Structure 1
Amino acid sequence: MKTRIWFNRWFSTAYHLIESIKNNADGLEFEIYGTHPNKDTVYFQVCDYSQTEPVLESEEYIEFCIDFCKKHRINVFIPYHYAVEISGAIERFQEVGTKVLVSENNELMQTISHKGKLYDSLIDSELKDLLPEYSVVETAEQFKKAYDRISQNGKRVCMKPAEGRGGEGFRVLRESDGTLDELFGHISHKISFREVHKTLSEVPRFNELMVMEYLPQYEYSIDCLSYNGQLLAAVPRKKVAGRVRELEHHAELIKIAHTVNDIYKIPYVYNIQVKFTDGVPKLLEINPRMSGGLHISCLSGINFPYLAVKLLLTGEAEVPAPKFDIVATSIEATVVISS
């Protein structure tokens, strides 16, 4: 029987991750299962089996996942939705014969997945200089104090949910209100401090926000492959312009990846995001999962998704030296989802 792999409620670029697993150098065959609440999810087109999944909260969702693995005899579960909670229930998946591509250290998952806890955990580490100026706030008064402190240091201020994903909730704060030109122009992430403060003041307490210095320069994602405490590969991927990306042998960032590995020992595949200011890298976040742009890092010659699965199943994988100085982009393609 082919090894069965399940992707639950991923973002659309899981399409490429699934293709990478199927097109592996060892010629191994896999049966890919995919679920999502949206019946028109694009990665269903590269799955061997797909179905819509119910919209459930934490514990009910975990029960659904365990039942799904048991019913379909899933060998490898690659979670995105509720990955932190699934990490805490990993023994229950093992009991039904399913290996889960996620860290078994749930405390670590909780720390990394919350930006405030992540930053706090690095204050006394070798990476303390990687931290931007920040505060975690949950009241309007705390928000104002954090904004005043950072802006009085001559820095622009931005904010993001402490447990947000991707660009969700990211805003750059400014003193002035919007202009008519901006109203008729492109959608902007900029918003006035006054408007945000007014909105936050309407409730006594809100979900934790990261208020931090805005980092204006270039951004890198460092895709990492690791197993048993050893960093096997690190590929820095620079956001050049628009959708253009460059795979760059950036010694400073590769060193940061090794230090992150030494501190956290995140298994399998993960992603470190940094952004530069005045030529100095600052940490944005660490994602303990496959990144949305991982398929571009695979152009280095390292098939991250497949090798991560192979490490999970066998504990062994030959990892080639990555190729750098590759500039790539992606274009939208039309995919027929029904006819």
Structure 2
Amino acid sequence: MRDICVLITCCNGIISPGQISCLRDIDERSVRIVGVDASEFGYGSRMVDCFRKVPRANDPGYVQILLSICEEERVDVVLVANDAEFFLSEYKQEFLERGTQLALNDSDLLVSVDDKASFFRLLQKKGLPTPKFHVPANPEEFEEACHDLGYPENPVVAKPRRGGGSRGVRIIRPGLSKQKILLGKLGNQDITFEDMCAGLSEGDVFPSIVVMEYLPGIEYSVDSLVDQGEALIIVPKTRDVSEPGRSLVARVDCNEEVVEAVSTICRELDLHYNINIQFKRGSDGILYPYELNPRIAATIAACRAAGANLLYFGVKLALGEEIPPVSIHNGMRMIRYYQEYYEFPEEKC
């Protein structure tokens, strides 16, 4: 089997080392890894074989720079690690002309699922379960939406329609004190109804948000490898301890209901490559999908440890190679921790 070169974007993220490690020590071939990022500070750039500093994805020259890197480094597959780069799907042909496969879904689908309101509507159209939600256009509609979703008897969730990593997510809870919010735990997403209304009323343009019911039950983050709508491998994980945007402690739970829900969504939406879907149970006990990430996700390294190297299998899928059978270690637990990396100057004091 021939050796290959894989490019990973946003390689200096806090969870990037786990993703990069999925391409190391591959028995069947050697994988050369090229990492790109707008920042040179991060351990990921020290793990890859070649690091190239690039502008941010919204820079007008970003696409051409990435294409040039792929040509110069003879990249076989590009793995996108950030939602802000989904627009690259529009340039698949340009990458192909340079011998590079872009492991991304088609741009029309990416636009639909990246918008949370559009994602919910797409699920509804397919007759699939969705949490109750509203898309307010002004402060008055926001207040009406909160009350319709059960506030103040129940909490309500508000979040930007676009964006990942739990950025901008707020849980509107009754009976909160501002002192508790100010002095609460790091990454606290709680906010009072009054403060949320006041914040949304500022400015000339009402922000594009979705308001949804609060789902109090168990949470799943599910990684899967999908081939034209067929889920080949599914690895469900419970989020036992988390902080906004990432799992700190997760456990593989091969729950058949979750597996079936993922298979159905992948089939109905005709998804492809690496897909991450997040679920929570509602107060009615029903399992609701609340976010879909059509890319390599933060906990994909845990799938490798559990017996399914989904990130590398995504590369094989992009190259048209056969995916081997796997056996998943049900019950395996991931505990995330931070470790320091040190660089020393040549001279000592």
Q: Name the CA shift for 1:272/1:176 in 2 (closer, same or farther; >3 Å).
A: same
Task: Determine the structure 2 residue equivalent to 1:265.
Answer: 270
1:207-222 aligned at under 5 Å gives the runs: 207-222=207-222
Question: CA–CA distance in 2 between the matches of 1:177 and 1:262?
Answer: 42
2:119 maps to 118
Output the amino acid matched with 1:64: I
Q: Deviation per CA, 1:252-298: give whole Å up to 9, x if none.
A: 00000110121122112111100112332111111101110111122
Q: Select 1:12's aligned residue among 8, 11, 14.
A: 14
- Structure 2 match to 1:93: 95
**Take 2:343 and 2:210, find their aligned partners in 1: how far apart are those partners?**
39
Deviation at 1:314, TM superposition (A): 2.8
2:225 match:
225
Whether the 8 Å CA contact 1:236–1:254 is kept in 2: the answer is: yes
C-alpha distance in 2 between matches for 1:284 and 1:133: 10
Asked if 1:317 is matched to 2:318, the reply is: no
Amino acid of the residue matched to residue 193 of structure 2? F
The 1:35–1:200 alpha-carbon spacing in structure 2 relative to 1, beyond 3 Å, is same
Q: Does the aligned pair in 2 maintain the 1:4–1:75 contact within 8 Å?
A: yes
Q: CA deviation at 1:299?
A: 2.1
| Structure 2 residue aligned with 1:3 | 4
SS of residue in 2 equivalent to 1:211? strand
TM-score by length of structure 1 reads 0.92
Percentage of identical aligned residues: 22
Q: In the alignment, which residue of structure 1 is the partner of 2:301?
A: 295
- Indicate conservation of the 8 Å contact 2:86/2:110, yes or no: yes
Residue type matched to 2:70 in 1? C
1:201-238 superposed Cα distances (whole Å, 9 cap, x missing partner): 12232341111111122210111011233211111100
Match of 2:289 in 1: 283
3-state SS of paired residue (1:221):
strand
Partner residue of 2:205?
205
- Give the corresponding residue for 1:241: 241
Provide the alpha-carbon RMSD of the alignment. 2.0
Q: Distance in 2 between matches of 1:227 and 1:106?
A: 17
- 8 Å contact 1:133–1:150 — kept in the other structure? yes
For 1:182 and 1:156, the matched residues in 2 are separated by: 15
Deviation of 1:2 (Å): 4.2
Runs of 4 or more, structure 1, over 4 Å off, are none
Read off the aligned partner of 1:34 and give its amino acid letter. Answer: G
Q: Which amino acid aligns with 2:149?
A: I
Deviates more, 1:203-212 or 1:144-153: 144-153
Give the length in aligned residue pairs.
335
**Does the Cα contact within 8 Å between 1:35 and 1:51 map onto a contact in 2?**
yes
TM-score (norm 2): 0.89
CA contact (8 A) 2:225 2:233 kept: yes
Residue 57 of structure 1: aligned partner: 58
| Counterpart contact for 2:81–2:297, Cα < 8 Å | no
Relative distance call for 1:33 and 1:257 in structure 2 (3 A) is same
Instruction: Evaluate the alpha carbon distance shift between residue 50 and residue 277 of structure 1 in structure 2; reply closer, same or farther with a 3 A threshold.
Output: same
The letter for the 2-side match of 1:320 is V
In the alignment, structure 2 segments of 5+ residues that lack a partner are 243-247
Q: Output the amino acid matched with 2:42.
A: T
Q: Residue 184 of structure 2 aligns to a residue in which SS?
A: coil
